Amino acid sequence: MNARPAPPEVSSVCCYCGTGCGVEITTDGHRVLAVTGDGTHPANFGRLCSKGRTLGDTTGRPSARLLRPTLRPAKDEPAQEASWEHVLDVVSTRLADAIRQHGPDSVGFYLSGQLLTEDYYLFNKLARGLVATNNIDSNSRLCMSGAVTGYKQTLGADAPPACYDDFAHAGCVFIAGANMAYAHPVLFRRLEEAKAAKPEMKIIVADPRRTDTASLADLYLPVLPGTDVALFHAMLNVMIWEELIDRDYIAAHTEGFAALRARLREFTPRAASELCGVHEDDIVTAARWFAQSPATLSCYAMGLNQYSNGSDKNAALIHLHLATGHIGKPGAGPFSLTGQPNAMGGREVGGMATLLPGHREPGDAAHRAEVAALWHIPALPSNPGLSAIEMFEAAAAGRIKVLWIAGTDPAQSLPEQALVRTALEKVDCVIVQEAFNSSETLAYADIVLPAAAWPEKDGTVTNSERRISRVRAALPPPGAAREDWRIVAAVAQRLAATLMPERVALFEFADAAAVFAEHAATTAGRDLDYSALSYELLEQRGPQQWPFDGKIGRTRLYEDGMFPTASGKAQFVDIAWRTVSDKVSAHFPLRLTTGRLRDHWHTMSRTALVPALTRHAEEPQLAMHPRDLQRQRLGSGDLVKVRNKRGAIYLPVVADDTLRPGVAFIAMHWGGAALGGQGINALTTRVIDPQSRQPELKHAAVAVEPARLP
């Protein structure tokens, strides 16, 4: 009897968080049979979290997918199915008309950290190299741009210096504004194992909520939302006062310490305690543990970044490493944890208004000239581009005529939903390139381009430790859905044929490998240089970190104490104190913060398809401290109205003593569909960090009252 052939198995990467776990996908050629952890992948060595383990359950559900391209003949008419050829022609025509009539900056691209590097690269080449606009940004703006600015201001480049192996080498791990247990569960497992192997390791967690991550902490610091700079400044002040700083490292490898030191004098533990709500004794203990450990690693994420002072928070935390020399050695360094699976890759290709390929900047004429030369075009646009919030503000003001949205749901996920929805209504042509049909943005789409989803795509992603992995297609896309990069290339070739026929060839690629090869070449000579990397090498040697010298990727950065700044020295930044934009008041006395749940991802387009995941939290809730509930004569389960000057939402309240009094919490995942029209982002503010342009999604002043339903 013939043995049945083994089911095909494909190595790929989990499509959720920035940990970037390797997976093995088993299929029967038509559907996914199993998803297991890849035991050889250096990010996870076979481990998967609840989301990764259930990835297979998100596939094979055509009823959840967009299967055919559609067009809406007019704003008030229903969408109609159309052929790809026709729809691609229409997209190209709408872009060309807008460019001719209103100029290139009437076009905007709003992308996603869910896209693969190859998708991102071609979108960026289309925007900058053909449309000639810098109006290209991404939902990574909502996620990691504070970390980008923090790194660049202090270390000179957007490059996380540490790696996952550092958990095992650290003597102290300082976690600030990151709920790793929920948002990066496999990394949290590595931390748990390191702590179990080395019980003397100190873990400090600073967070407004006593999260599951804090359950592992030897010291928990209940910092008030938005006040981390006071905490970090006071810790550095203690280190200076108690002679715990590394004067030799500061003298040899840094600049600007004297100016910052003068600033820090006002941040005594007592004064800082008044600002940040952490007890002064705990500030002193945290400073001592951080400085006296043989190696200290800091992990941080949205709790630092999603504030109007997010860049300051990042820089102030990095100062602690520069002042103690806890950088560039095993177990030490500042380590931003990327939220999305490929927010790092998006930064590498320059798929944001403030970036160009290869960690270059559009405001630098030499950088523009370098990219123009690589792309064989005379010049790149020099007009400043619009970041995410600015792009939707411009759209609401009627200045964006064509808005192409790919892999993200701004109607739900951007702050100040009222303005975002006005913007989407105002734009002449909204193009939505998307895989799932649950996106609330689809209601505003004039053109829908059905995209392939995981595991139907070929490409690469870069995870939090700068490691590039291959994403491999295990199945063909359903219906007429297509890979994102192929859609972009097809539109670009049509648009080039209309506007600049000599540029058609710039968008001709045989496969994703060819796109990667062109992208990798743009990194040559830059801090992230992986110009020697190819799909072939990734096949032979597996996932690789950047920079990559042709043989091996670099595990950690700055081991020689040299930084990519003009002087070669890292920079202390003189950071003045400021806090959140939305101040609490008698009218709005509660500090509302937001975050993720363990088993959901973003707007739940995939995780809501898996019953095992929805069971963890079946409905949105407002969490408040029991004393706050008592004061308002509310009980768990009561329906409340949460309101502020921007909007109001209705949902049940629940008592939660992991919060401090005066702070409330709502998970970020539910939109208007679950909450009767308005999602959580009806309340959040579009005020941005002036440096990173990241909106303050983590804090809004609100009032809570019993709901009176009509």
Query: How many residues bind to ligand SF4 according to rule CB under 6 A?
Result: 14
The kind and range of the H/E element at 349 are helix 343-349
Q: Where are the beta strands (DSSP E) in 178-280?
A: 202-206, 219-221, 254-255
Q: Which of 16, 335, 392, 665 binds ligand SF4 (CB under 6 A)?
A: 16
Q: Is 186 in the site for ligand SF4 (CB under 6 A)?
A: yes
Q: Which of 185, 303, 357, 647 binds ligand SF4 (CB under 6 A)?
A: 185
Which residue, 44 or 138, has its beta carbon nearer to ligand SF4? 44
Q: Which residues contact 537 (CB under 8 A, 6 or more apart)?
A: 544
Give the SS3 label for residue 448.
strand
Residue 540 buriedness (CB in 10 A; 0-12 / 13-18 / 19+):
exposed
Give the SS3 label for residue 531.
coil
HSE at residue 411, side-chain half, CA atoms within 13 A, is: 20
Using the contact rule CB under 6 A, the part of the chain among 17-25, 198-206, 314-322, 415-423 near ligand SF4 is 17-25
Which residue, 115 or 432, has its beta carbon nearer to ligand SF4? 115
Give the SS3 label for residue 431.
strand
Q: Is 19 in the site for ligand SF4 (CB under 6 A)?
A: yes
Residues 347, 314, 197, 555, CA torsion sign: positive
Least distance (Å) from ligand SF4 to the CB of residue 190?
10
Q: Is 385 in the site for ligand SF4 (CB under 6 A)?
A: no
Q: Is 613 in the site for ligand SF4 (CB under 6 A)?
A: no
CA distances from 600 to 65, 442, 613 (A): 18, 21, 7
Using the contact rule CB under 6 A, the part of the chain among 10-18, 166-174, 628-636, 693-701 near ligand SF4 is 10-18
Which residue, 164 or 444, has its beta carbon nearer to ligand SF4? 164
CB 650 within 8 Å of CB 641: yes
Q: Is 283 in the site for ligand SF4 (CB under 6 A)?
A: no
Which residue, 49 or 240, has its beta carbon nearer to ligand SF4? 49
Least distance (Å) from ligand SF4 to the CB of residue 18?
7
Least distance (Å) from ligand SF4 to the CB of residue 17?
3
Least distance (Å) from ligand SF4 to the CB of residue 13?
7
**CA atoms of 428 and 409, how far apart (whole Å):** 18
**CA atoms of 427 and 419, how far apart (whole Å):** 12
Amino acid symbol at 660? R
**CA atoms of 110 and 352, how far apart (whole Å):** 9
**CA atoms of 424 and 412, how far apart (whole Å):** 12
Residue 263 buriedness (CB in 10 A; 0-12 / 13-18 / 19+):
middle
Give the SS3 label for residue 402.
strand
Which residue, 13 or 515, has its beta carbon nearer to ligand SF4? 13
CA distances from 223 to 218, 605, 709 (A): 16, 32, 36
Rule CB under 6 A: which of 242-281 touch ligand SF4?
Answer: none
Q: Is 471 in the site for ligand SF4 (CB under 6 A)?
A: no
Binding string, residues 142-181; x marks residues near ligand SF4 by CB under 6 A: ----------------------------------------
Q: Which two tokens stand for residue 58?
A: 């998100």
Q: Give the residue at shortest CB distance from ligand SF4.
A: 52
Q: Is 21 in the site for ligand SF4 (CB under 6 A)?
A: yes
Least distance (Å) from ligand SF4 to the CB of residue 14?
3
Rule CB under 6 A: which of 26-65 touch ligand SF4?
Answer: 44, 48-49, 51-52
Please, which residues bridge with residue 701 across strands? 591
Q: Is 487 in the site for ligand SF4 (CB under 6 A)?
A: no
Q: Which of 11, 14, 291, 396 binds ligand SF4 (CB under 6 A)?
A: 14
Which residue, 453 or 575, has its beta carbon nearer to ligand SF4? 453
Which residue, 52 or 69, has its beta carbon nearer to ligand SF4? 52
CB 430 within 8 Å of CB 424: yes
**CA atoms of 365 and 477, how far apart (whole Å):** 41
Using the contact rule CB under 6 A, the part of the chain among 9-17, 306-314, 395-403, 564-572 near ligand SF4 is 9-17
42: Cα separation from own chain's centroid: 21
Q: Which of 184, 319, 596, 693 binds ligand SF4 (CB under 6 A)?
A: 184
Least distance (Å) from ligand SF4 to the CB of residue 146?
21
Q: How is residue 208 annotated by DSSP? A: S
Which residues would be at the binding site for ligand SF4 (CB under 6 A)? 14, 16-17, 19-21, 44, 48-49, 51-52, 184-186
